[in-house]
Structure 1
Amino acid sequence: MINVQFSNSGLHMSSRRFGSQSLVRLLGHWQQISSRTPLWRQLADALRLLILDGRLALDTRLPGERELASALNVSRTTVSSALAHLRDEGYLESRHGSGSRVILPESHAVPTRAAITSALDLSTAALSAGPEIHQAYTHALTAMTQHLSLTGYDQMGLLTLREAIAARYSARGLPTRADEVMVVNGAVSGLALVLRMLTGPGDRVVVDHPTYPLAIAAIQGASCRPVGVSLPESGWDTAGFAATLAQTAPRLAYLMPDFHNPTGRCMDAATRQTITDIAAQTRTTLVVDETMVDLWFDAPPPAPLAAFNPQASVITLGSAGKSFWGGLRLGWIRASSRTIATLAQTRDTLDLGSPLLEQLATLWLIENSASFLPARREMLLERRNQCGALMREHFPDWRFCEPEGGLSYWVELPGMVATQLAARAEALGIHLGTGTRFGVSGAFDRYLRMPFSMDPEELEKALLQIKPLWANLNKTDVFLKRAVI
């Protein structure tokens, strides 16, 4: 059912009403009783953070004041003051009888990473474009000429690009033909297409826990239910994976074995064999996200999962975003030719193919990647080490492991204070990626994802601004523990 409402801005459609318990889980540990900041202000800051993160989508209707106050175990006055403050700031719109609806101030765009007005964004793990991107587009513009006499519509993607992608898989130990590759508009777009083909409302999708936030969003956007398999201290819990498949009978499982986001760990060959064997035995389709596959530090990852058991149904997602530049917005799907043909039919309802200029640019980047990817990896390794040194110096009670690749650290805090820290940092113009973004139902409030992709000087500047906020939170936590004792 679609609710149609009128507002000052005209006719619009509103999304579903957000249940109070769901909102409580998303808010996490937002409340710090001993803080000098009024409780209503803490609640307003936490809700604003959810809106800017995109976890509270535009047009979402919040629970009523009385219901929310009861769920949060605070006074109705606290809730009323928090919502009034957000209305004054332009984050909520209220109408008598229909509650409060999430909006954005006129100065904000739809909440995406680019829409965050923070001066320092520590929530995004991505690199800016290198000089090779300009070279790639220059070459693409020249190569474009021969294609201008054609329509430009091609749901499978440029043949020469698909051949180049197939050759990369073959070189990594997974023999691949061009008809086993489809070019799409990024890995998330590829996941959404796969979900559209394989799932229906209410279906379960198994994911690593934690996992990539946009994968969770895509799964929930397909009206499916993400089911998490917790990651142990290191590696993957293959027994837990097998048990979860047996207990939940999911339609598919989404995994990121190559420098997993957010932990940065890499799945070893033995685990890949076990995972694909389990998938083959249970006839569970694996959707494998290789977005980070090129960003290794000490050694390249093992062969793709699809190479380990030919009886397993494996769909592999790739992307130019992390390897080359996010602005390319280009990815690909590698699967059996039959699956690719079915995906092409499913795609008819979504789009008519990917931009030709970006495909030509990506083709040039793939063909010339050996000339710049090693330097990119070396720069990232140096930034990883610098980021680790800064965190050890300024935040000695933060715990983290050195990622084997990728773009970020997964940092464990000594308490469930990530939401509180992020809300305070937001007031300074620093946007943090709280662990709750990477979990289902508000999990991981004691974690932060700390990217090391930004310029080291900018990173140090941000961390130095966060340091007194953290020190203040620590003092409060120590005070509370002593009071309990």
Structure 2
Amino acid sequence: MTRRYAERAAGPSGPATTARHVSGAQLARLLTDVPAERPYYAALARAVRGLVLDGRLSPRVRLPAERDLATALGVSRTTVTAAYDALRAEGFLESRQGAGSWTVLPAGGLPPPGTPLIGSFGAAHAWPQPDAIDLGCAAPGAPAVFGAAVTAAVAELPRYVAGPGYEVAGLMPLRETIAEYYADRGLPTRPDQIVVTSGAQQGLALLLQTLVEAGDAVLVERPTYPHALDAIRRRGARLVPVGVNEGWDVELIASSLRQAAVRLAYTIPDFQNPTGRLMGDAERTALVAAARRADTFLVTDETFSEVALDGRPHTQGILPLAAYDSGGRVISIGSAAKLMWGGLRIGWVRTTVPLARKLVLARASVDIASPVLDQLIVRELLLHADEVRAERARDLGERRDALAGALAELMPDWEFTLPAGGMSLWVRLPAPIATSLAEAAARQGVRIVPGPAFGVDGVLEDYVRLPYVLPPAVLREAVERLAVAYRAVEAAPPPRPLPAYV
């Protein structure tokens, strides 16, 4: 039996669908915030339930034996037994004699994976109100230098019209500029390591097509970019989520890589979408080392890497993830969408030369090549990247602070951490009502995306993502409408279970 499929052979139900588990020491480290209240078992049960609901502890992860957790926490086994009993009664734990206990979601208590939400993530939505505000899309308009870049690119275009216009790997001048861009960030790169794609999403799709087979395990962060989840599902891979709401726990990630025999891991270490977190230097070193030990490819999505509001990461001693790798295991995906403009649909992959050649062959069956003019525009914009970065930092910083200020004033019980980069706040609600809030907000003319869209198993119902790409006055108006929607959800009676019919 191959390593890749060994963990699936145990059986069709219970924890046998995954070999993942947490040790007593690992769970105790996650439970550092257990309230010192009595009875302690009830506080412990609530803390474990919170880990499941916010995504730090995945469903169908086997918990440590009661004795092991009791030893790690320094409490009696009776206390842990009572906490496990309470979790079983609430529907967050299942057990089977001889197999242990594993986390689950209560039947009917949370929306199942794939439940349709308000509209399509990142897509246009038909609003009944003419003054609707769309907070579903974290993408700004083009920068001020865009017009000059287009003019320069059009002037350059005649040099290319005599040829066929198909450059499967991308125009060489653009690849050279992207290579220089990586060198500027502390990662020496050659042009033949770059493959230009039609956006970062195509880059991920080509990597999945080349490196992943149906049934392979792919590790993803929870929360993460929803369209990446869609691409992985379409490939037929098995999703292995790890929670990052509180940052990256590399020890737990390393454990998941080993236990699930992960083939590829998709991570967003630079101003993570949607949390806005920035992975530190020590965590990057440890993550790459863990991937090497587990024989796992690391795909790092750098879409937001240059959207820094308080200083670029490499100026703080934090290099691109691939700079911590010496074996070609880390593959970088970049994009012009966030720093430049999403309408250009130009991205790229930085990898080893042999894998770059494989991607070129795979790409030929998809769309052959990216538009020449768009590539020339992106090159011109990259040549003016310092100017664009400064504009983004100024505008987005002002808008971030405006959104945060309005939330603090009008919704003081909503929690968030002010990010140092990226384009959105990841806001925790006082209760798991994100989907209901999104529906109520739509009636007020505001589109938001609830937390479950960013996960794989129906959790994150107490989170919403709120981008700050719109002008401050519009963001203020959006928060005022959200306050109305929130009060309506708070005042609504709890849903009543439907009667069963036979």
TM-score (norm 1): 0.76
Residue by residue over 1:168-223, the C-alpha shift from the partner in whole angstroms, topping out at 9 and shown as x without a partner, is 11121111000000100011110000000011112111011111111101111111
Counterpart Cα distance in 2 of 1:207 and 1:479 = 32
Counterpart Cα distance in 2 of 1:452 and 1:240 = 32
Higher mean alpha-carbon deviation, 253-262 vs 216-225, is at: 216-225
- CA 1:346 to 1:27, structure 2 compared with 1: closer, same or farther past 3 Å? farther
Answer yes or no: is 1:228 the counterpart of 2:212: no
Q: 1:299 offset after TM fit, Å?
A: 2.3
Answer yes or no: is 1:383 the counterpart of 2:383: no
Of residues 461, 471, 493, the one that matches 1:455 is 471
Residue by residue over 1:408-433, the C-alpha shift from the partner in whole angstroms, topping out at 9 and shown as x without a partner, is 00000011100001111122332111
User: 8 Å contact 1:26–1:442 — kept in the other structure?
Assistant: no
- CA 1:116 to 1:267, structure 2 compared with 1: closer, same or farther past 3 Å? farther
Of residues 164, 169, 174, the one that matches 1:161 is 174
Counterpart Cα distance in 2 of 1:221 and 1:176 = 31
Residue by residue over 1:376-428, the C-alpha shift from the partner in whole angstroms, topping out at 9 and shown as x without a partner, is 11211111111111001010110100112000000000111000011111223
Note the 1:292-441 alignment, pairs <5 A.
Answer: 292-301=304-313, 302-311=318-327, 313-441=329-457
Higher mean alpha-carbon deviation, 451-460 vs 188-197, is at: 451-460
Of residues 158, 171, 177, the one that matches 2:184 is 171
User: 8 Å contact 2:402–2:476 — kept in the other structure?
Assistant: no
Aligned partner of 1:461: which letter? Answer: E
Counterpart Cα distance in 2 of 1:468 and 1:114 = 23
Counterpart Cα distance in 2 of 1:149 and 1:323 = 31
Note the 1:51-200 alignment, pairs <5 A.
Answer: 52-53=119-120, 113-117=123-127, 119-200=132-213
Residue by residue over 1:52-103, the C-alpha shift from the partner in whole angstroms, topping out at 9 and shown as x without a partner, is 226xxxxxxxxxxxxxxxxxxxxxxxxxxxxxxxxxxxxxxxxxxxxxxxxx
Aligned partner of 1:141: which letter? Answer: V
Q: 1:323 offset after TM fit, Å?
A: 0.5
Q: 1:452 offset after TM fit, Å?
A: 0.8
Q: Which runs of 5+ in 2 are unaligned?
A: 1-104, 497-502
Q: What residue is the counterpart of 1:247 in the other structure?
A: 259
Of residues 117, 121, 145, the one that matches 1:50 is 117
Query: Which runs of 4 or more aligned residues in structure 1 lie more than 2 Å from their structure 2 counterparts after TM superposition?
Result: 24-30, 114-118, 472-480
Q: What residue is the counterpart of 2:36 in the other structure?
A: none
TM-score (norm 2): 0.73
- CA 1:146 to 1:357, structure 2 compared with 1: closer, same or farther past 3 Å? same
Counterpart Cα distance in 1 of 2:338 and 2:403 = 19
**Secondary structure, counterpart of 1:50 in structure 2:** coil
Give the paired residue count.
Answer: 384
**Secondary structure, counterpart of 1:128 in structure 2:** coil
User: 8 Å contact 2:199–2:337 — kept in the other structure?
Assistant: yes
Q: 1:478 offset after TM fit, Å?
A: 10
Residue by residue over 1:127-161, the C-alpha shift from the partner in whole angstroms, topping out at 9 and shown as x without a partner, is 01223222211111111011110100011000010
Q: 1:312 offset after TM fit, Å?
A: 5.2
User: 8 Å contact 2:429–2:462 — kept in the other structure?
Assistant: yes
Of residues 204, 211, 218, the one that matches 2:224 is 211
Counterpart Cα distance in 2 of 1:26 and 1:134 = 54
Counterpart Cα distance in 1 of 2:485 and 2:336 = 37
Aligned partner of 1:216: which letter? Answer: L
**Secondary structure, counterpart of 1:140 in structure 2:** helix
Q: 1:464 offset after TM fit, Å?
A: 1.0
Counterpart Cα distance in 1 of 2:108 and 2:273 = 22
Higher mean alpha-carbon deviation, 113-122 vs 188-197, is at: 113-122
User: 8 Å contact 1:280–1:312 — kept in the other structure?
Assistant: no
Q: 1:354 offset after TM fit, Å?
A: 0.5
- CA 1:477 to 1:286, structure 2 compared with 1: closer, same or farther past 3 Å? farther
Q: 1:477 offset after TM fit, Å?
A: 7.6
Counterpart Cα distance in 2 of 1:251 and 1:346 = 19
Counterpart Cα distance in 2 of 1:461 and 1:180 = 46
User: 8 Å contact 2:440–2:489 — kept in the other structure?
Assistant: no
User: 8 Å contact 1:285–1:314 — kept in the other structure?
Assistant: yes
Aligned partner of 2:147: which letter? Answer: H
Q: 1:115 offset after TM fit, Å?
A: 4.2
Q: Which runs of 5+ in 1 are unaligned?
A: 1-23, 31-45, 55-111, 481-485
- CA 1:291 to 1:26, structure 2 compared with 1: closer, same or farther past 3 Å? farther
Q: 1:25 offset after TM fit, Å?
A: 9.7
Q: 1:300 offset after TM fit, Å?
A: 1.4
Report the aligned-residue RMSD: 2.3
**Secondary structure, counterpart of 2:150 in structure 1:** helix
Counterpart Cα distance in 2 of 1:416 and 1:263 = 17
Counterpart Cα distance in 2 of 1:351 and 1:472 = 47
Q: What residue is the counterpart of 1:10 in the other structure?
A: none
- CA 1:448 to 1:372, structure 2 compared with 1: closer, same or farther past 3 Å? same
Aligned partner of 1:120: which letter? Answer: I
Counterpart Cα distance in 1 of 2:483 and 2:392 = 29
Counterpart Cα distance in 2 of 1:394 and 1:441 = 31
- CA 1:412 to 1:215, structure 2 compared with 1: closer, same or farther past 3 Å? same
Counterpart Cα distance in 1 of 2:411 and 2:494 = 16
User: 8 Å contact 2:118–2:449 — kept in the other structure?
Assistant: no
Aligned partner of 1:117: which letter? Answer: W
**Secondary structure, counterpart of 1:117 in structure 2:** coil
Of residues 265, 279, 290, the one that matches 1:278 is 290
**Secondary structure, counterpart of 1:226 in structure 2:** strand
- CA 1:280 to 1:477, structure 2 compared with 1: closer, same or farther past 3 Å? farther
Counterpart Cα distance in 2 of 1:384 and 1:26 = 38
- CA 1:232 to 1:445, structure 2 compared with 1: closer, same or farther past 3 Å? closer
Counterpart Cα distance in 2 of 1:343 and 1:311 = 18
**Secondary structure, counterpart of 1:131 in structure 2:** coil
- CA 1:163 to 1:25, structure 2 compared with 1: closer, same or farther past 3 Å? farther
User: 8 Å contact 2:241–2:456 — kept in the other structure?
Assistant: yes
Counterpart Cα distance in 2 of 1:313 and 1:378 = 36
**Secondary structure, counterpart of 2:460 in structure 1:** coil
